[in-house]
């Protein structure tokens, strides 16, 4: 089996498969200590990275330009590496079941280029057992090699938080697990070279897989509770954020807030766990209930907007709505599984005209993925409603007077503040109608 010294002395190489939000920061960090090959199926992505440009903004261009990584979209280049890390997306399909095409496709590509004595490590979020039950057979099929004899596998779940410049790769404890103690130790040595926060050795690959999938499931459920409370308090005429500000004065109150739960982790990972549970004959009640609540929030916000417009006696067929922010979270350009789309679609179903603005999102991706046109901020005029959907710093730094210029009649305007960005009293004192989740 591959040994750490051969990697450290750069006699052998590391390949990172998938250069997105997870793979690229990992490849950059590893390249400071090892010879690294960065593989991605997108020729455009490889070309941009080769020029030192990262459109995801997870790695600063200046840092990217100082690294020495061999970028490629040629699968045969994987043959040059003995330590292979798979960091591809694991999404869900339209039926909310795991879409394994990316991870199994990557396994096929790796298998076709796998050499003896290699170690393959998966970082993608999966349900417990997927690495050994689904990925290993594919690796064996396309390599003609035997796992545990000719090559070995391990698992080390990614913990990247897009847009977070504090909790970066190096500052988060890394969980590692291999099919043998020797593989686990090798993973600990390799990741230990770049992780300052420390390494946690899990007892098995399944334990490491389960740890990853429950991290986001727990967060999903906590947010679902806040969202359900927001639904209840809205009926009571109570401001949810005021309630939470009061409640969190107790030392052990957990500071979670209501909101749209999208992205490629929190809104997806629970379905991997529930899929496996149901395959074993157990129907998860709490996890799926949380998912239903969080998936409903876009519809609720849109319906609340329409009700408020009706109360203001606004002619719905002539109403014009501006939406600020389309990405799944603040300060990132990532559009994957954004729940702002649910709000937009629901409003459009009511026959309302909706204009969306997002300075960080790619206009091309917005059109391709969601068929949504991104408008310049200057075009958001004569509005009846302004929805603050994503708390980008760019929006938070704007003077409130800039928002007022968007309205047809400023004092008749309606502001829907999903993220609670604005000062409630300031807005109400100006005579506008204000609602926040």
Residue with tokens 């809104």: 267
Q: Which two tokens stand for residue 323?
A: 């939406």
Region for residue 420 given its phi and psi (left: phi exceeds 0; alpha: psi -120 to 50; beta: otherwise): left
H or E element in which residue 436 lies: strand 433-436
Closest CA to 385 of 349, 416, 345: 416
User: Hey, what are 1's tokens?
Assistant: 């089996």
- Radius of gyration, CA atoms only, the chain: 24
User: Going by DSSP bridges, is the β-strand pair 151-155/174-178 parallel, antiparallel, or unpaired?
Assistant: antiparallel
135 belongs to the catalytic site: no
With a CB cutoff of 8 Å and minimum separation 6, the contacts of 353 are 319, 320, 321
Instruction: Count other Cβ atoms within 10 Å, centred on residue 122.
Output: 31
DSSP state of 80: G
Q: Which of 262, 249, 258 is nearest to 230 (CA)?
A: 258
Strand partners, 388: 324, 417
Q: What are phi and psi of 177, to 5 degrees?
A: -155, 140
- Structural contact between residues 326 and 300, judged by C-beta atoms closer than 8 angstroms: no
| Cα 294 versus chain centre, distance | 15
Q: In 3-state terms, what secondary structure has residue 222?
A: helix
Of the residues 135, 265, 314, 406, only one is catalytic, namely 265
Kindly tell me the burial class for residue 325, based on how many C-beta atoms sit within 10 Å of its own C-beta (0-12, 13-18, 19 or more): buried
Strands 81-86 and 69-72: unpaired
Indicate which residues carry an active-site annotation: 265
């Amino acid at each position: 089996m591959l040994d750490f010294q051969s990697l450290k002395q750069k006699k052998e190489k590391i390949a990172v498969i998938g250069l997105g939000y997870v793979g690229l920061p990992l490849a950059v960090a590893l390249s400071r200590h090892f010879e690294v090959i960065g593989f991605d199926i997108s020729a455009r992505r490889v070309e941009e990275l080769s020029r030192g440009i990262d459109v995801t903004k997870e790695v600063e261009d200046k840092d990217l330009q100082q690294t020495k990584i061999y970028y490629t979209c040629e699968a045969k280049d994987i043959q040059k590496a003995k330590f292979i890390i798979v960091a591809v997306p694991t999404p869900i399909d339209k039926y909310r079941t795991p879409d394994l095409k990316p991870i199994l496709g990557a396994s096929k590509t790796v298998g076709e280029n796998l050499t003896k004595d290699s170690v393959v490590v998966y970082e993608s979020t999966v349900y417990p057992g997927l690495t050994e039950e689904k990925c290993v057979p594919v690796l064996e099929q396309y390599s003609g090699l035997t796992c545990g004899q000719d090559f070995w596998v391990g698992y080390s779940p990614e913990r990247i938080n897009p847009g977070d410049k504090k909790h970066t790769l190096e500052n988060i404890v890394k969980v590692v697990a291999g099919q043998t103690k020797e593989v686990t130790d090798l993973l600990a040595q390799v990741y230990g070279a770049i992780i300052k926060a420390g390494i946690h050795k899990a007892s098995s690959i399944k334990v490491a897989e389960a740890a990853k999938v429950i991290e986001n499931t727990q967060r999903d459920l906590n947010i679902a509770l806040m969202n359900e409370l927001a639904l209840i308090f809205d009926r009571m005429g109570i401001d949810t954020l005021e309630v939470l500000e009061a409640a969190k004065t107790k030392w052990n109150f957990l500071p979670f807030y209501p909101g749209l739960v999208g992205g490629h982790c929190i809104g997806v990972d629970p379905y991997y766990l529930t899929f496996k549970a149901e395959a074993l004959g157990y129907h998860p009640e709490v996890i799926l209930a949380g998912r239903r609540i969080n998936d409903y929030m876009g519809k609720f916000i849109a319906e609340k907007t329409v009700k408020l417009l009706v109360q203001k006696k606004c002619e719905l067929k002539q109403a014009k709505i501006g939406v600020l922010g389309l990405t799944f979270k603040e300060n990132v350009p990532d559009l994957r599984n954004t729940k702002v789309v649910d709000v937009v679609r629901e409003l459009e179903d009511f026959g309302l005209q909706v204009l969306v603005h997002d300075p960080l999102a790619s206009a091309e991706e917005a059109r391709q993925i969601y068929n949504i046109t991104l408008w310049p901020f200057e075009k958001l005029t004569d509005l009846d409603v302004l929805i603050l959907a994503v708390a980008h710093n760019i929006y938070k730094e704007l003077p409130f007077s800039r928002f007022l210029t968007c309205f047809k009649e400023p004092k008749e305007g309606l502001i829907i503040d999903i993220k609670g960005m604005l000062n409630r009293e300031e807005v109400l004192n100006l005579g506008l109608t204000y609602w926040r989740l």
